[in-house]
Amino acid sequence: MDAGELKSRVIGEIENYRDELKELSLRIHRNPEIAFQEEKAATWLTDYLKKKGFSIEKGICGLATAFRAGYGKGKPVIALLAEYDALPKLGHACGHNIIATSAVGAGIAAKLAVDEFGGTVQVLGTPGEEMYGGKVYMVRKGAFKDVDAVMMVHPAGLNTAATKFLACQTLEVEFFGKPAHAAARPEVGINALEAMLMSYAAINSLRQHIKDTARIHGIITDGGEAANIVPAHTAGHFIVRAAEDSYLDELKERVLNCFMGAATATGAKLKYKWGEARYAPLRNNFTLARMFRKNLQSLGRRVHLVDPRIGIGSSDIGNVSRVVPSIHPLIAIASARAVTHSPQFAETAASEAGMRGLIDAAKALAMTVVDLVAEPAMLVKAKKELEQDKESG
């Protein structure tokens, strides 16, 4: 059987499971679970894959809600990544219910390619993408050491084969002051909230003088106990992003100086901690991206090769892309004006447009698996591209 005929069969296979995939996606959407607490979603996904003939390993890499589902044996090993964590209070406003089920649907259909040409297809459950970087730990623990290519698809407001993701790292900050009666004896207090507000002001000033591709943002998580008490403690959570690792290092130092300066000015004691999971910028593999683009276009969608925007955020797939040829395409489920991490996008992720995106994403992923197992030279080319990218920095 040639690749073209096999692609027609994998499309038909996904159509056979369309209703089941939609039901699974909507069930995950109705039951949002935040990072590293995705117990229901992980169970539903692995149960479904097991019924479809996949072997299942749960709790891989020391992460309770991570999993590896495999079918076939030997090389090449193609991994389809599933994300299924939700956002606090917003639910699936990043559409991870679609990411998870498109990977599952593609994996099931790709069994046909493995049966015909050999190799292994994996669906890797990668929890905690939002903020905590599950894939960062999975890379460190060797989850990708035997994998030859990695793919996943994210819902968005446009179709692209390659995406621009920024390097990023979180920063937890606390200021410790001295409480006092805010009216009777303010002179004996040390205002920790004032230190945090000064830090915010300094960061706002810093934003005028950083690269267009860099981002600094954060929230105050503790602002004091009562208006008539000089705040003795404040805390905040911040994120620093940049297009290059080297510039992220520079920017981290400049951001930290904002907090250190406020501590000196107010007399408050500063305590800080950089996040353990540092997200790397995404290294797009254009050998894979061009194959995926052609397949998605064949389904009737207009597809950009590269996201035309400056940069839409960060993801821990950036760390994966440093060790394995990887792509993170986008599938349009809304207009180009759509804003992720919003209540409106959460609604869209459960809409009929969202379900169409799920099915098309699964089809394009499965078709690209066919390309990779049917044409080993393309995988060699993808790996060579990654090595050249490493050499060029």
Q: Tell me the pLDDT tens digit for each residue of 278-296.
A: 999 999 999 999 999 999 9
Contact indicator for 367, 329 with CB cutoff of 8 Å: no
Nearest to 159 by CA among 322, 350, 295: 295
Of 170, 53, 157, nearest to 115 (Cα)?
Answer: 53
Q: What is the mean pLDDT of residues 147-168?
A: 96
Render pLDDT for 196-240 as a digit per residue (tens, 0 to 9): 999 999 999 999 999 999 999 999 999 999 999 999 999 999 999
Q: What is the pLDDT of residue 312?
A: 65
Question: Worst-scoring range by mean pLDDT, 69-73, 244-248, 309-313?
Answer: 309-313
Q: Is residue 311 over pLDDT 70?
A: no
CB-count exposure of residue 392 (10 Å: 0-12, 13-18, 19+): exposed
**HSE-CB for 47 with a 13 A CA cutoff:** 8
Angle subtended at Cα 272 by Cα 269 and Cα 275, rounded to the nearest 5 degrees: 175
DSSP reduced 3-state for 79? strand
Closest CA to 288 of 9, 78, 37, 56: 78
Q: Write the pLDDT tens digit of every residue in 336-376.
A: 888 999 999 999 999 999 999 999 999 999 999 999 999 99
Alpha helical stretches, state H, the chain: 3-16, 18-30, 39-51, 96-117, 134-140, 192-206, 245-266, 286-297, 317-320, 343-348, 352-374, 376-392
Characterise 26 by phi-psi region: left (phi > 0), alpha (psi -120 to 50), beta (else).
alpha
DSSP single-letter state for residue 190 = B
C-alpha dihedral (37, 41, 42, 46), degrees to nearest 10: 170
Average pLDDT, the chain: 96
Q: Which residues contact 8 (CB under 8 A, 6 or more apart)?
A: none
- C-alpha–C-alpha distance, residues 346 and 19, integer Å: 20
**Exposed, middle or buried, 308 (CB in 10 Å: 0-12/13-18/19+)?**
exposed
Sign of the CA dihedral 301, 306, 312, 315?
positive
Q: What is the DSSP letter of 181?
A: B
Q: Compute, in degrees rounded to 10, the torsion defined by CA atoms 165, 44, 14, 111.
A: 90
Amino acid identity, position 251: L
Residue 308 is predicted with a pLDDT of 72
Q: What is the DSSP letter of 209?
A: G
* Per-residue model confidence (pLDDT) at position 307: 77
* Mean pLDDT score, 56-71: 98
Instruction: Quick: pLDDT tens for 87-134.
Output: 999 999 999 999 999 999 999 999 999 999 999 999 999 999 998 999
